[in-house]
Structure formats: C-alpha cells, structure tokens
Structure 1
Amino acid sequence: MDEIVIARVDGDGKVIAQQRYRDYIQGPKSLAITAGLHGRKLFDILLDEFGYITYRDNKPAWNFILQTDTNRTIMNLLGKIAEAVLVRRCHEDNELNRILISKARYVSRRQPLSFTNKYFALGTGLLSTEKNNRIYYNPSETQRDIEWVDDRNKLLLKSGSTVSSGDIAGLQLKASTDGMNYVYDDLIKHRYMVPLVYFGVGRHNDFAEIASTLIKNGYLHHSMVDVDFIDAAAIDPYGFDEVLTYVDMVTAIVKGKLRPEQLLDIADDYPTLQTAITVTGIMQSGLNNEIEC
C-alpha cells in the first residue's frame, strides 16, 4: 500500500530524515524535519527577542538557566515565544491589531482602524522593546505581556480610563499542552486584570474544555468567553499554528536534545551569525536569563 511521507534532503538531494505524513501531522514530529522547516524562525526569536543563545567555543550555545520543573519550564518558554509571535503578527496585520486592541480595552465593538493604527504593539519581555521602548521593558511583568503605545510613546488605556487612573490596556498570554493543570488555577483565582489569550498547543487544543469547566463550576460566565478568556486559535489561526510548530523543538531544547545550530538549515559559521549573537549578548549583560515559572 502506498504511503505519503515527508522528507528532508541535503544539498545533494540525499534524504537525511523522513517520516510518514500521518505521523508527522499527528505528532510527535521528526526534529530533523521540523528544524529544517521552522528552526531558523525559532532560532531568531530565541536570539533576537530573549538573548537565549550565546557564542561559546566557536559555536552557538544556550544561554538560560532551567528550572527544576521541566514541564513548567517548557510551558513558560512557549508563552514567551507566543508573546514574540503575537506582537509580530500585530505589526504585520492591521486587522488583527485592531481586534486585539478592542479585546485589551474591553470594547465589545471593534475600534476603528483610524484609531487602532495609531498604536504599536510591544511585548513587555522582548528585547526589541528594551531597544526601542526601554521604559516599558519589564520581563518580570506578571499582568501584561502585550501593551500598545502611540507615536508619542503613550500607553493605550482601557475604555473609560483616564491618564490619572492609569488603567493600562493589555493582554496576558499563556501557552500550554495541559491547560487544566497549568492555567486553570490562575483563572479561578482571577489572577489577571486583563484578558488572557490562551494557546492550547497540546495534541488537541483544550481551550473549550477549560472554558466549559470554568462555566460549569461558576468561575466564568458564558458571556465572558472570548472576553476574559480568549482562544488564540480562533483569534489568530496563523500565529497559533506558528507557535504550535515550535512545541516539539522547545521540548527537545529544554530536555537537552536539541542544540542551537540544529535549528538552522546549515550548521552556520558565517560571520554575521557570531556578530548577531555577540551583539545580543552585550544587550543582555547583567540580566538574569532564568526562565521563570
């Protein structure tokens, strides 16, 4: 019986990795194939936005401290990656930016583009924010992973808020392969003052399961689904799918099974790579690169 396979070949056309298409789609995916398809983008995020890659002994090396809870570390790192992806997606897509601003301001009707186009999304934990909007860079921020500023560097406020009250609009992000154990408790304790955008990146998206359990147990009114608790897959399928492609690679990284250079199409030694890593390392000097849980 014929089967469809997905394969990775080298520059000479030699197959270096292959997997049945069905197995690849259902997971777990071949790391060699996934890295060939998506590794460079993940490499760039980990380097440019978090400084998690350094240059040691003439080759790239990981530059972070792992927590003892491996699974929670994986979820935390995926959440950071989701922050970088969703911020970039807001820059790429004015309509998505408009939708997310409306959610962050708790406005039922979408804000007009003439208003939302004045605001630029930033991630409070991203190095790009430290570089371009230093006063809003705060990797220890526990309430807002994403905020918005205008061309005068003024923060977007929630609807009805004033400058004096300072009720800043924003979104908190979580990514998990097991949301009932990772985000459910935070939701029932009403830990966040802004909407939570959830990336359910397990073998199935468990957003609906979490939402229905919250409603059943009286912690969330059904009208507040997609208001206080938002499904990333529904609001931005492209961004959700990108984060989903990184899950197996991030898991392998945290478990010590994937080196930085394995994320690249070629084991690079071109000078621009070392320069980029060195510059990012300088930006990160003095910072604690511990992946907090």
Structure 2
Amino acid sequence: MASELLPAAADLVSKVLPVVKKSKKYGGIMLWSRFYDGKTGYSDKAAELAPEEKQRPPPPPPPSNAAPYYAYPAPQQPYYAPQPPPPPAPRRSGPGCLLCFVFKVIALVVIALGAAVLVLWLILRPGAVRATAVSATLSRFDLAEGVRAGEGVLQYNLTVDVRVRNPNRFRIHYEYAEAQASYDGERFGYHPVQPFYLERKGERTVTAAFAGSSAVDDRGALRSYRRERGDGFYYVKVRLYADLGFKVRVFNARRKSKITCTLRLPVPNASAAPVPTMLGTRCAVDF
C-alpha cells in the first residue's frame, strides 16, 4: 500500500512545485522538492544546493513590535470607607430648657444695658469744676492772748470772692453750700451760701463774708500770727463745701464737692480804709 501512495504523493509535489518556485519562498515544501524527486526518490541536486543554502543568510529575526510581556499586578486591598459620624442627639424640650433660655435672655439684656450705661458715663461723665479766688478784703485780723494760759481770741473781718466755672455740658445744682475760714489749722469763721445753679459751660462768683471773734486754743497759732505779722502777710484758708446734683441725659447723680483756697493777705492798716486785694489764686477742687 505504501508503494501505491508514494507515486501519488510525488505527482502532487510535481504539481505544487512550480507554484512554490514562482513565489520564491523557501518553506518546507521547497526543501522537500529539492531533495525528493517524486519518481526516482532522492535527487542528486541536494548535494549541489547544500552549499547555496549555506551561503544564504539566515532569515531576519521577527519584528520587535511584538507586545512586551507584563506580569499581572498584585491584587489591591479592598478599600473600606470610614463610617459616617453618628447623628446628634435630639435636644430635650421641657421646662428646664425654657428657664435656661429665659435666663440667657435676661443676662444678655442686663449686660447690654450695663455696657450702654458705662459707655454713656465715660462719654458724658462730669468733670470737676474749676475755682479761682478772685479777690479778698481783710479789714481786721487781730489775735490776742486770752484770760487763760494757752488761749487766744481772734477778731476778724474778711470777705472773699470765689469764681466757680462749670466745664461740663450739663448744669450743676448746688443744693447746699457753706464756706469756712481757718487759720493755722484753727477754724474761726462760717458763712452759709444760698443754693444756686451753675449752667453748662457757665461760671458764677460766690461771695463769703466772715466777721466776728473766735477763741483759739493753740499756742502754735499765736506764734504763727506773730511771725506772719512781722512778714507783712497772713495765710488764711477758705473752704467751700457743697452737695451737688446734676442730670446727664436720663441719669441723675449726686456728689459732694470741696473747694480749698489758700489766700495770702496783706496785714490790714488800721488807719486806712480797707482795699480789696486782687488774688487770682487757683483753688484745689475735690469733685
């Protein structure tokens, strides 16, 4: 049976061989036709073609545009999103929360009113009045020793004009005022002052008159009197005490005030008429 198949195969090769040679390709069938004749078996041309095949360059390598090889990436770890925060707890409603709300509202109102009052007070706070001793007339000032040892009697006649100025934008009411005179720490005179209004940005002259006699229980006052009489000037203090009332917008306030004026008065001349002494002395004010 092999002998029957061999001629048929050789006949098939002889038909295919011209087509293969025309395409100038050297595949497996081409090599087979060169070494197998089909009729007589192997051909002698194989030995002649062997050197030609050796001189033929090797086929070119396959193109390098083949897809490179990549290893499969390692599987990624699954991503778990963080859990959302829990919802806020519902607010409790009840009488306790209502009382807290009312207390907060009252506290806010009190704080707002306090802040408003403080701001208004800082803006419109009253300033101290300004006082100046304008003039004084000393017609008599005699200190003599008394009947008892260490006691003296002072006879005096003094009139003082004090100008008071209001620097504020509201008027001040002097509800009560009194003037006192002292010498070397010993008070010897008193004069009540009629109540009056001091208009805003205004001024007023207050006159205090002291006349009479007073006992002085201090040997130091007698020594000071003799020394100052030799110098030609007496140093007398006049104080003006007052209770003040004033109104700032819708706020009413009251204060106490003290004005202290230290006067340097010439020794009076008994043989001449008294003459006012112009002073212009600035007085200290406690407001």
Q: TM-score range by the shorter chain?
A: under 0.3
Structure with the bigger percentage of helix = 1
Structure with the bigger RCO (C-alpha within 8 Å, sep 6+) is 1
Highest CA radius of gyration, 1 or 2? 2
TM-score, structure 2 length as denominator? Answer: 0.17
Q: Structure 1 length normalisation: TM-score?
A: 0.17
